[in-house]
Amino acid sequence: MLLNSNLPNINQHVVILGGGTAGWITANLLAKHWLQLGIKVTLVESSDIGVIGVGEGSTPQMKTFFDEIEVDESEWMPACNATYKNGIRFVNWSKKPGYKSYFHPFASKIDAFTAPIFMQNCVARLKGYDVHAHPDRYYLATKLADKKLSPIASENFPFEIGYGYHFDSVLLGKFLRKIALKRGVQHVEGTVDQVAQHPNGDIKELKLENGQTIAADLFIDCSGFRALLIGKILKVPFISYKENLFNDRAITLPTPVSENINTATISTAMKCGWAWDIPLLNRTGNGYVYSSDFCTDDQAEFELREKLGMLKSDTPAQKIKMRVGRMEKHWANNVLAVGLSQGFIEPLEATALHFVLETVNGFIRTYGAGGFTRKNQAEFNQNLNARFEGIRDYIVAHYRLNSRTDNDYWNANGSNNKVSTTLVQMINCWTSGGNLAQEIESKRISSFYPPFSWHCLLAGYGVFPAEKQLMKDESQSQRYDLNEIDEFIRRASLNFQS
């Protein structure tokens, strides 16, 4: 393979720095695709520097990952106290009557029967007709979550169902480590305290505190928020999203597992952010994501404890600082940044591990196609940056459109004009009753969030003409029989169990 100077020739040795979820997911993907090419893969991690390790939710890409590395749910889910996730319910984000909560489901093929009706009703309501356009009645996954059913259908149900998981990320890291080591990844425990570079800036070797040196051709920086190689050594600039997204702290507190486990993440709006409720087999993971510009850590802890009925409990809370934004480049010199080191958008839509998978799979594809050229490197970085911005915009939309005005935090979010042109155009298209799906396609952002997700968000927050302006029109309101949709979804849900 012909490689340009300053781009990695990885025919010999790849070193992953960091053994958090990002590091071990990367190790497994490289074990699957590169060990067979004779490339040696080593992961270095420090037992003195911890991992982030909060209870986490995933998107459906996590299922694709486990299918790809050929690990069955029956093997990994019990080992990680994992549960199924049909989507996310957003509670108390909107103060509008009738819009107290809405559900953002994962897409499934059966939605083809009901989602178009929802979207057509959205357009009719935007045009001023009084038709039903709240997303909760149109998706099977919503019904499954409401009935606390898992997304695994009986065999005679002929539609594929999209779903994600909740899991203990510390246990997930440990599980993935075992698999990667069994498959031939080398493991070194130690703290990197020095890094040597070649004259062209490429990383030459890592030096550990115990004196050991590890040289490689390619380094994958999975060192978390420290961003040791991409940030501290290569000095790739960090682009903060602080002016778009205000939250920069999280606080976590576990509670005992409830008897009847939810099959969805619950995101509840709080005074200065939102709280998650993530059900695991052995506990419920709770956390409050907030902005330190609007409340202190102690105020946030009090509010979370109050919500959970834990004001008198001595269970300690874990406090986490979040660096929200992304690196200007994810791949620079012979370093690929993966995970928190490459960037982080706050966890509202649980997209971080999705990024890890996109990044590593994209990199493996680029290598496989003989594509380690400057042009492809630039394209690779551009694509990931566009994905980051696309997902950021969707999350910003939650804060801009929810209609809460009860304090400075929500007012500042609602009136924040530091939003991208793309988002402004999307909102304008929606409110003027334009074709949002077409707008999304033309902007090439449907692979970040597809039209149905945008419809759920905008309709879920009730971004429609005011109730009193709506016209009663029988030809519109009787176009679809909602009872038929209810019955269709009810009967489909009978194929699932808790």
Ligand X SMILES: Cc1cc2nc3c(=O)[nH]c(=O)nc-3n(C[C@H](O)[C@H](O)[C@H](O)COP(=O)(O)OP(=O)(O)OC[C@H]3O[C@@H](n4cnc5c(N)ncnc54)[C@H](O)[C@@H]3O)c2cc1C
Active site residues: 85
For ligand X, the closer of residues 44 and 295 by Cβ is 44
In the list 10, 14, 16, 19, the residue contacting ligand X (rule: CB under 6 A) is 19
Q: How far is the CB of 323 from ligand X (least distance, A)?
A: 9
For ligand X, the closer of residues 192 and 429 by Cβ is 192
For ligand X, the closer of residues 234 and 353 by Cβ is 353
Q: How far is the CB of 58 from ligand X (least distance, A)?
A: 6
Give yes or no for residue 58 binding ligand X (CB under 6 A).
yes
Give yes or no for residue 343 binding ligand X (CB under 6 A).
no
Q: Could you tell me if residue 224 is left (phi over 0), alpha (psi between -120 and 50 degrees) or otherwise beta?
A: left
In Å, how far are 78, 85, 127, 464, 481 from 56, measured between CA atoms?
15, 11, 40, 33, 38
Can you give the three-state secondary structure of 357-368, one letter per residue? Answer: HHHHHHHHHHHH
Contact indicator for 412, 242 with CB cutoff of 8 Å: no
Q: Name all contacts of 292-298 with Cβ < 8 Å and 24+ positions apart.
A: 292/248, 292/249, 293/246, 293/248, 294/246, 294/407, 294/408, 294/409, 294/412, 295/271, 295/409, 297/249, 297/251
Give yes or no for residue 227 binding ligand X (CB under 6 A).
no
In the list 250, 300, 456, 489, the residue contacting ligand X (rule: CB under 6 A) is 250
For ligand X, the closer of residues 19 and 462 by Cβ is 19
Tokens of 230: 């991409």
Segment interacting with ligand X, rule: CB under 6 A, options 11-19, 34-42, 474-482, 485-493: 11-19
Tokens of 303: 């509010």
In the list 10, 52, 295, 337, the residue contacting ligand X (rule: CB under 6 A) is 52
Give yes or no for residue 82 binding ligand X (CB under 6 A).
no
Give yes or no for residue 339 binding ligand X (CB under 6 A).
yes
For ligand X, the closer of residues 91 and 482 by Cβ is 91
Give yes or no for residue 20 binding ligand X (CB under 6 A).
yes
- Nearest one of 449, 456, 440, 490 to 110, comparing CA atoms: 490
Give yes or no for residue 80 binding ligand X (CB under 6 A).
no
Q: How far is the CB of 23 from ligand X (least distance, A)?
A: 5
Positive or negative CA dihedral for 51, 63, 245, 333? Answer: positive
Give yes or no for residue 266 binding ligand X (CB under 6 A).
no
Give yes or no for residue 87 binding ligand X (CB under 6 A).
no
Tokens of 183: 């498959």
Tokens of 298: 């102690």
Give yes or no for residue 169 binding ligand X (CB under 6 A).
yes
Tokens of 77: 């889910």
In Å, how far are 145, 314, 439 from 433, measured between CA atoms?
30, 52, 12
In the list 23, 273, 343, 362, the residue contacting ligand X (rule: CB under 6 A) is 23
Give yes or no for residue 164 binding ligand X (CB under 6 A).
no
For ligand X, the closer of residues 44 and 397 by Cβ is 44
Q: How far is the CB of 234 from ligand X (least distance, A)?
A: 15
Q: How far is the CB of 339 from ligand X (least distance, A)?
A: 2
Residues 6+ apart with CB under 8 A from 300: 249, 251, 272, 273, 288, 290
In the list 51, 245, 317, 445, the residue contacting ligand X (rule: CB under 6 A) is 51
Contact indicator for 42, 27 with CB cutoff of 8 Å: no
Tokens of 37: 């090419």
Question: Which residues from 119-158 bind ligand X, rule CB under 6 A?
Answer: none
Give yes or no for residue 224 binding ligand X (CB under 6 A).
yes
Segment interacting with ligand X, rule: CB under 6 A, options 95-103, 326-334, 347-355, 376-384: 347-355
Q: How far is the CB of 319 from ligand X (least distance, A)?
A: 10
Give yes or no for residue 88 binding ligand X (CB under 6 A).
no
Question: Which residues from 269-298 bind ligand X, rule CB under 6 A?
Answer: 287
In one-letter notation, the amino acid at residue 102 is Y
- Give residue for tokens 């999304």: 440
For ligand X, the closer of residues 265 and 476 by Cβ is 265
For ligand X, the closer of residues 21 and 495 by Cβ is 21
Contact indicator for 231, 308 with CB cutoff of 8 Å: no
DSSP 3-state assignment of 68? Answer: helix
In the list 10, 45, 151, 393, the residue contacting ligand X (rule: CB under 6 A) is 45
Residues near ligand X (CB under 6 A), total: 36
Contact indicator for 426, 401 with CB cutoff of 8 Å: no
Burial of 466 (0-12, 13-18, 19+ CB in 10 A): exposed
Identify the helix (H) or strand (E) that includes residue 16: strand 13-17
Q: How far is the CB of 190 from ligand X (least distance, A)?
A: 7
Contact indicator for 410, 466 with CB cutoff of 8 Å: no
**Residues in contact with ligand X, shown as a per-residue x/- string from 90 to 119 under the rule CB under 6 A:** ------------------------------
Give yes or no for residue 22 binding ligand X (CB under 6 A).
yes
> Half-sphere exposure of 492 toward its Cβ, with a 13 Å CA cutoff?
25
Give yes or no for residue 174 binding ligand X (CB under 6 A).
no
For ligand X, the closer of residues 228 and 230 by Cβ is 228
* Site residues for ligand X per CB under 6 A: 17-23, 44-46, 49, 51-52, 54, 56-58, 169, 191-192, 222-224, 226, 228, 250, 287, 320, 322, 339-341, 347, 350, 352-353
